[in-house]
């Protein structure tokens, strides 16, 4: 028994090195084309790893909350609204990628469908990549406290019966709300050409 422990000692030591744990947990994450059951299985495995020790908890939490919107199938406000109030900032501090949904002008800030009020008291110091999903007739961007966003992807596509409908006026209003947006008209024109090409292709008889 003692000899077996000595043989396993290097493995035990390796599993206490943060860089090694980080790579192991990254490999446990589901790929972008995984089906839902596999995603849930990966989440359960990482959650189990988080219960092993304090170090494992820190490293597993880092991966579970790197992009929780993909793993949980919700946007940032919905994901965080499921967390106890006292713990929200802790998890918000881990998010590096995520999605937000725009909302209509006529809707109040507090919406039962999109609990964006949770964003008021939270900061996202590590958030770098945001996907902004624009709903139909919804062009108000939820305010989010992050100074480090480097990539903003605007998804203005709305799936309808015969293809994709794109409201470019709404995209323009969204761009006006982005704090830093270089040459917004140039970007808008390019997006318009791309999406109109998609639309024409899908609507061909």
Select from 77, 147, 149 the least CA-distant residue to 119: 77
Domain residue ranges of the chain, discontinuous segments joined by +: 1-64
Q: What is the pLDDT of residues 102-147, one digit of tens each?
A: 887 655 554 445 677 889 889 999 999 999 888 766 778 888 899 8
Strands (E), 26-149: 97-101, 129-133
Convert the pLDDT of each residue in 77-101 to its tens digit.
999 999 999 999 999 999 999 999 8
Structure tokens at 182: 């270089």
Q: Mean pLDDT, to the nearest integer, of 134-163?
A: 78
Per-residue pLDDT band at 1 (split at 50, 70, 90): very low
Cα–Cα distance between 183 and 196 in angstroms, integer? Answer: 20
What angle in degrees, to the nearest 10, is found between the helix axes of 18-28 and 54-64? Answer: 40
Q: Among all chains, which residue has been given the structure tokens 């409908």? A: 165
Please tell me the chain's helix, strand, coil percentages from 3-state DSSP, rounded to the nearest 5: 50, 10, 40
Query: Rounded distance, CA 138 to CA 102, Å?
Result: 6
């Amino acid at each position: 028994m003692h000899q077996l422990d000595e043989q396993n000692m290097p493995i035990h030591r390796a599993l206490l090195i943060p860089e090694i744990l980080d790579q192991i947990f990254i490999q446990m994450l589901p790929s972008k084309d995984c089906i839902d059951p596999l995603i849930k299985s990966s989440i359960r495995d990482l959650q189990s790893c988080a219960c092993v020790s304090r170090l494992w908890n820190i490293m597993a939490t880092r991966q579970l909350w790197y992009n929780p919107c993909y793993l949980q199938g919700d946007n940032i406000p919905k994901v965080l609204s499921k967390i106890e109030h006292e713990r929200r900032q802790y998890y918000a501090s881990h998010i590096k990628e995520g999605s937000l949904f725009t909302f209509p002008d006529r809707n109040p800030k507090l919406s039962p469908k999109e609990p964006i009020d949770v964003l008021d008291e939270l900061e996202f110091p590590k958030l770098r990549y945001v996907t902004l999903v624009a709903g139909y007739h919804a062009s108000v961007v939820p305010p989010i406290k992050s100074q480090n966003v480097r990539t903003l992807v605007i998804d203005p596509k709305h799936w309808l019966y015969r293809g994709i409908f794109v409201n470019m006026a709404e995209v323009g209003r969204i761009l006006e709300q982005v704090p830093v947006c270089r040459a917004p008209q140039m970007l808008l024109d390019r997006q318009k050409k791309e999406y109109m090409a998609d639309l024409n292709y899908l609507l061909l008889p």
